[in-house]
Amino acid sequence: MAGLPLDQREGWIWFDGEMVPWKDAKVHVLTHAMHYASSVFEGQRAYGGQVFKLHEHSERLINSARILDFKIPYSADEIDAACNAVLEKNGLTDAYMRPVAWRGSKELGLYARNNPVHLAIAAWEWPSYFTPEQRLKGIRLTISDWRRPAPNSTPYASKAAGLYMICTLSKQAAEDKGFGDALMLDYRGQVAEATGANIFFYKDGELHTPLPDCFLDGITRRTVIALAKAKGIKVIERAIMPEEMGDYDECFLTGSAAEVTPVSEIDQYTFTPGEICKDMMESYSREVQPKRAAAE
């Protein structure tokens, strides 16, 4: 089933409070979200039948909608329950999950508050965002021509669908050039993030990561920071200029889809995935799979 288009798969999707056959989970072409990007979503993973930091994801989804000036008609607890029901209904234990909320099709225009708000939740088997070979060797990035906008020009704290348009353009351009992903700078020319993951650099016993002041502060990012600090590793959040990348020994990306993925190259800057990358990969794996770790 993995090779089938997403709209042709079998299974069940939670749609506005009901379990709907996968192929029947549809929206109209005049849906407001399709025309004006009034949509927010989450990307989260289940390990051993449990979604990692599920409630935190559900709360962020609600807050993302609030930032876009609409209210999801379900509480975080109700969204949690729906996510768990989707896993059970589809017989999934290790899976990727995508809750998505959007404005509907009552009216079409820039004024959007008369449109109903919908929520759907789907889950499917999806391995790591990058192949095992890429992760072990470290993926290759190139710096994108697109930049993360200023914080007063986009609702950057929301996981809003529209903010990913330049990420799609950046990733496609990078893959066209033979790279695995792209590094995006921000409006000031500072290092920001990859197209769907946050970034960390390591040298002299310290982890350095950009301040998330114009891009999303990822849940995985915060998890890795906590794991590093628990090990006594100093974590420095600061502005990082591109030319500083040549000073670092190791580099890795973090995200619910990417998990912890080492980086070997960002254009002319090279890194050697080593002990810190391996340690963070293993520590994160133990954190998200506590039952499996306890059994080992």
- Catalytic residue numbers read 159
How many Å apart are CA 120 and CA 26, to the nearest integer? 10
3-state secondary structure of 138: coil
Question: ∠ at Cα 50 (48, 55), nearest 5°?
Answer: 160
How many Å apart are CA 72 and CA 103, to the nearest integer? 10
How many Å apart are CA 123 and CA 232, to the nearest integer? 36
Tokens of 26: 């549809």
Local structure of residue 150 (DSSP, 8 states): P
Contact 154, 166 (CB under 8 A): no
Task: Using CB atoms within 10 Å of the CB of residue 203, give its burial: 0 to 12 exposed, 13 to 18 middle, 19+ buried.
Answer: middle
